[in-house]
């Protein structure tokens, strides 16, 4: 496939070149006079790497807009956990929730998710059918079933799907579970994915129970290393930021979720950049967002940094775009996120509608003006997975019907 | 026209009814068995009032993404004002900018703008052609030409277009100009629209120059009354909030603009609600946003309140929706913003795509999950002005071509 005449933008900047794709990979960029059988004329359009949404619970889509107006701990105890216990009685609700979530994700150009949940077999099935990429991290804090899931799924991983270990948090996972997770992570060379330092309550409880701040508590057991993905990581000291940077770990900023659950602390994203941590961006679940839209996540992340430091030059669009693309894929071990020879053809073609006129600065335009309605085509490994409102790999009508049926079944259970 | 079977949602809640529209007005809601010649089957769709964007400079669209990374005062002095002086040499650039801005506005269901700028004749032409509504407030702080514009336009107002007076700010408008504006406002019973208490610098300078805080300074000359629209109004004391509430004035929250320009203070929106001020929402110009999307504005406004007060129950979606619809129209004197007999048929039909599945709570779904891509149709006075990516009143291709030409002319001037 040849994509001709697009304005190519990745976090390094903009250039006008053609992109030659073979067997799912970018094999060259430059100027190619000879037309291919499969040539996409992208004159006047913008080609960017697709997004890696570094923190989701995509099976939670059935809980969208539930528990509105509650803080994290009320929301978990009063709404989310009771409903999730109920959902375990409904086979297939996680699968169909994941498909609905993936459609929403694709509409904003997300082609890879880092996901933590239960019943991850069902999420895996949805991810495979949709043809996207994922790191799936079953939550082992919920009991033996979680660890069993990890071990079972490890036998079924594929080029597009990686398996890791989810540890919900230091307040739901006992120390021996965390140590067991770390041991397995090192032994199998797989990721650990954990919520940490999300709220002030978590920080206070950690100081009280462990005599240490959350990141220090984890670091004491060598939990934080290159395969560790720390999500939220907002209530941290400069020392904790330095630790995370030195360990070359990945942090995930979920700006909308933090605001929605009124966690109070804005993640010091730019300090992580300076400390050389691998900074990435996530939407979190639609139950704590209430959307899965990476354009929204990028813009909100950038704006919050400007606000936090009273510095309009914060939220640099190149760093934001890098965090939403290249850094996420790098964390998960996928060679995507740059438009460059040797990288996977995980791409978005944007049509710059009136909302991107004038373009002026392409990086700014993508990060601060871009909207899902600008997304015209999305490719994973050179294969179309979204095109102008249509999902070639998903039967949208059927999925929404099945979803509504499952929701009725769910409502009937209460 | 009959809109059948929609889920009707306005700030008061949701109900399933049909809506009967005649001569641009809602004449009845309820159940109507008899089909009309013009019946819209809205089964499975959501009908909401259209949005009133209470603070824009829509002619500024040509400056989108310019001056990225600057705080308000640098941004005005180094980028915006010099470019605007240049733009005055290009006839028609404000007109074509306004049309591009209106297309973007319509895509998120905005049918009414409260606009402050220069060359407002050109904005008026664009607003009329597009068939939307507006309060146009030429900025009188830029010299005599502003006041002349107000007086000229006052002879040309129409049912859809109201004329008011724009006073940029207390730091650009001399006291005698503010007093002159107030006198004309009272005499003609027209609105005054002013930026106030936007930044800490404005507050400090006001204390130094006038010995008073910005709102107190204005109130001393009786500037704040029912026809006054105070935009930003973020750096305020409880006393200033009380004054604004007692005067029954309107305040406009522009959450994205405030974050982008790193103004530091989050507008105490909910305190204004409690003080009985007329709270409304705006996007500000795309030069300080960088979008014109009321779904984004509503969500950001709500999320910032949750964050500001560390209270997840802040950002109540009914109050946010009321501020984005009913309160804005009420401020400007248009009978729109409710789906009720006697109101104008200024409406949006939303298709709840996967991003609104499950709906769970309709008000929450609209305010926190809604996106421009959910907007299927937009009506002003019962007339379609947007439908599935098309603008029946605007020749999009021609407008974007003309806009690009003007931008080239503009670039050639430097």
List of chain B residues whose C-beta atoms are within 8 Å of the C-beta of residue A61: 357-358
Q: Residues near B179 by Cβ (< 8 Å), separated by ≥ 6?
A: B221
pTM over 0.95: yes
**Model pLDDT, residue B276:** 98
Q: Given an 8 Å threshold on Cβ–Cβ distance, is B65 in contact with A404?
A: no
Which phi and psi (to 5°) does residue B105 adopt?
Answer: -60, -45
* CATH number of the domain where residue A308 is located: 3.20.20.140
Put simply, the answer to whether B357 touches A306 (Cβ < 8 Å) is: no
Q: Which residue of B has its CA nearest to A312?
A: B69
Picking from B61, B291, B371, the nearest residue to A293 by CB comes out as B371
Q: What span, in angstroms and rounded, lies between the C-alpha atoms of A155 and A151?
A: 7
A409 falls within a domain: no
What gap in Å lies between CA A324 and CA A294, rounded to an integer?
A: 8
Q: Do residue A369 and residue B65 have CB atoms under 8 angstroms apart?
A: yes
Q: How far apart are CA A178 and CA A161, in angstroms?
A: 23
CB A107 to CB B373 under 8 A? yes
Q: With beta carbons less than 8 A apart as the criterion, state whether B296 and B256 touch.
A: yes
Mark whether B74 and B32 lie in a shared domain. Answer: no
Among B65, B201, B300, B306, pick the best mutation site for testing chain A contact (most A Cβ within 10 A).
B65
| Pick from A361, A373, A404: CB nearest B107 | A373
Contact residues, chain A, for B74 at CB < 8 Å: 312
Among A71, A299, A357, the residue with its CB nearest the CB of B403 is A357
Q: How far is B277 from chain A (nearest CA, A)?
A: 23
Q: Which helix (H) or strand (E) holds B281?
A: strand B278-281
Interchain contact, B311 vs A262, CB within 8 Å: yes
Closest CA to B53 of B388, B269, B247, B292: B292
B116 and B239, same domain (yes or no): yes
Q: How far apart are CA A307 and CA A301, in angstroms?
A: 10
Work out whether strand B18-22 and strand B2-4 pair parallel, antiparallel, or are unpaired: antiparallel
- What pLDDT sits at residue B44? 96
The number of domains in chain A is 2
Determine the pLDDT at residue B414.
60
Report helix, strand or coil for A109.
coil
Q: Is residue A292 included in any domain, yes or no?
A: yes
Same domain flag for B34 and B117:
no
Whether B308 and B377 share a structural domain: no
CA dihedral B280, B8, B108, B59 (to 10 degrees): -50
Q: How far apart are alpha carbons A355 and B286 in whole angstroms? A: 9
Cβ–Cβ below 8 Å for A371 and B317: no
Which residues of chain A make contact with B300, given a CB cutoff of 8 A?
300, 303
| Same domain membership, residue A376 and residue A238 | no
Cα of B127 to nearest chain A Cα, Å: 16
ipTM of the complex: 0.97
Tell me whether residues B256 and A65 touch, CB distance under 8 A. Answer: no
Q: How far is A235 from chain B (nearest CA, A)?
A: 14
Same domain, B105 and B203: yes
B355 and A104: CB-CB below 8 Å? yes
Put simply, the answer to whether A403 touches B358 (Cβ < 8 Å) is: yes
Nearest-Cα residue of chain B relative to residue A399: B354
Tokens, residue B172: 């650009």
Q: Which residue of B has its CA nearest to A408?
A: B358
Test A260 with B317 for CB contact under 8 angstroms: no
**How close does chain A come to B308, measured CA to CA in Å?**
8
Relative orientation angle of helices A144-154 and A120-130, to the nearest 10 degrees: 30
Judge if B260 and B355 occupy the same domain.
Answer: no
Closest-CA distance, B279 to chain A, in angstroms, reads: 20
Q: Do B303 and A260 touch (CB under 8 A)?
A: yes
Rounded Cα–Cα distance for residues B88 and B90 (Å): 5
* Nearest CB partner across the interface for A312, out of B70, B304, B400: B70
Examine residue B120 and state whether it is found in any structural domain, yes or no. Answer: yes
How confident is the prediction along chain B (414 residues), in pLDDT tens digits per residue? 999 999 999 999 999 999 999 999 999 999 998 888 899 999 999 999 999 999 999 999 999 999 888 888 899 999 999 999 999 989 999 999 999 999 999 999 999 999 999 999 999 999 999 999 999 999 999 878 899 999 999 998 899 999 999 999 999 999 999 999 999 999 999 999 999 999 999 999 999 999 999 999 999 999 999 999 999 999 999 999 999 999 999 999 999 999 999 999 899 999 999 999 999 999 999 999 999 999 999 999 999 999 999 999 999 999 999 999 999 999 999 999 999 999 999 999 999 999 999 999 999 999 999 999 999 999 999 999 999 999 999 999 999 999 999 999 998 876
In a domain, B396, yes or no: no
pLDDT tens by residue, A396-407? 999 999 999 999
Q: Which pLDDT score is estimated for B67?
A: 87
Residues of chain A with pLDDT under 50: none
Residue B70 is predicted with a pLDDT of 87
Q: Do the domain assignments include residue A237?
A: yes
Residue A324 lies in a domain: yes
Q: Nearest Cβ partner of B369 from A74, A290, A306? A: A290
Same domain, A251 and A328: yes
- List the single residue in B with minimal CA-CA distance to A398: B354
Q: Is there a domain that residue B9 lies in?
A: yes
B290 prior amide bond cis, ω within 30: yes
Residues B194 and B270 in one domain: yes
CB contact under 8 A, A312 and B368: no
Identify all chain A residues contacting B286, using CB atoms and an 8 Å cutoff.
355, 369
Residue A44 lies in a domain: yes
User: Are B94 and B137 members of one domain?
Assistant: yes
- Percent of residues in chain A assigned helix, strand, coil, to nearest 5: 45, 20, 35
Round to whole Å and give the CA distance between B236 and B251.
12
Which domain covers residue B39, as residue numbers? 2-49+346-387
Verify whether the Cβ–Cβ distance A369 to B291 is below 8 Å: yes
Interchain pair B354, A256: CB under 8 A: no
User: 3-state DSSP helix/strand/coil percent for chain B, to nearest 5?
Assistant: 45, 20, 35
Based on the domain organization, do A37 and A55 belong to the same domain?
no
Would you state the structure tokens that stand for residue A268, as one six-digit string?
Answer: 């010091």
Nearest chain B residue to A258, by CA = B307
Pair A274, A347 in one domain: no
Contacts with A299 from chain B: Cβ below 8 Å: 256, 296
Domain CATH for B373: 2.30.40.10
């Amino acid at each position: 496939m040849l994509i001709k005449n697009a304005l190519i933008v990745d976090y390094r900047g903009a250039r006008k070149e053609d992109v030659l794709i073979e067997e799912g990979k970018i094999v060259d960029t430059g100027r190619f006079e000879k037309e291919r059988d499969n040539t996409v004329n992208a004159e006047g359009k913008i080609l960017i790497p697709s997004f890696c949404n570094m923190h989701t619970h995509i099976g939670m889509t059935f809980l969208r807009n539930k528990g509105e107006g509650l803080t994290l701990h009320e929301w978990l105890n009063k709404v989310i956990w009771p409903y999730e216990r109920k959902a375990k009685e409904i086979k297939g609700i996680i699968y169909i929730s994941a498909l609905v979530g993936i459609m929403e994700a694709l509409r904003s150009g997300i082609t890879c998710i880092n996901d933590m949940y239960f019943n991850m077999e069902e999420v895996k099935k949805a991810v495979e059918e949709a043809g996207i990429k994922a790191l799936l991290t079953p939550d082992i804090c919920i009991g033996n079933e979680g660890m069993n899931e990890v071990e079972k799924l490890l036998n079924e991983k594929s080029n597009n799907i990686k398996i890791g270990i989810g540890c919900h948090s230091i307040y739901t996972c006992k120390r021996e579970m965390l140590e067991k997770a770390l041991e397995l992570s090192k032994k199998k060379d797989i990721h650990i994915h954990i919520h940490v330092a999300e709220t002030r309550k978590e920080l206070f409880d950690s100081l009280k129970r462990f005599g240490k701040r959350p990141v220090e508590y984890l670091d004491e057991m060598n939990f934080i290393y290159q395969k560790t993905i720390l999500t939220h990581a907002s209530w941290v000291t400069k020392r904790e930021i330095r630790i995370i940077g030195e360990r070359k770990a990945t942090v995930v900023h979920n700006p909308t979720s933090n605001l929605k659950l009124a966690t109070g602390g804005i993640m010091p994203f730019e300090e992580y950049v300076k400390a050389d941590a691998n900074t990435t961006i996530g939407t979190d679940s639609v139950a704590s967002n209430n959307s899965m839209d990476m354009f929204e996540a990028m813009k909100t992340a950038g704006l919050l940094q400007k606000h936090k430091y009273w510095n309009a030059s914060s939220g640099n669009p190149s760093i934001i775009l890098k965090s939403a693309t290249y850094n996420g894929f790098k964390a998960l071990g996928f060679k995507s996120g740059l438009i460059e020879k040797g990288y996977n053809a995980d791409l978005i073609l944007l049509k710059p509608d009136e909302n991107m006129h004038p373009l002026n600065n392409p990086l700014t335009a993508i990060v601060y003006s871009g909207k899902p309605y600008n997304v015209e085509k999305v490719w994973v490994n050179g294969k179309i997975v979204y095109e102008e409102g249509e999902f070639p790999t998903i039967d949208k009508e059927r999925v929404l019907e099945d979803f509504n049926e499952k929701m009725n079944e769910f409502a009937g259970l209460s």
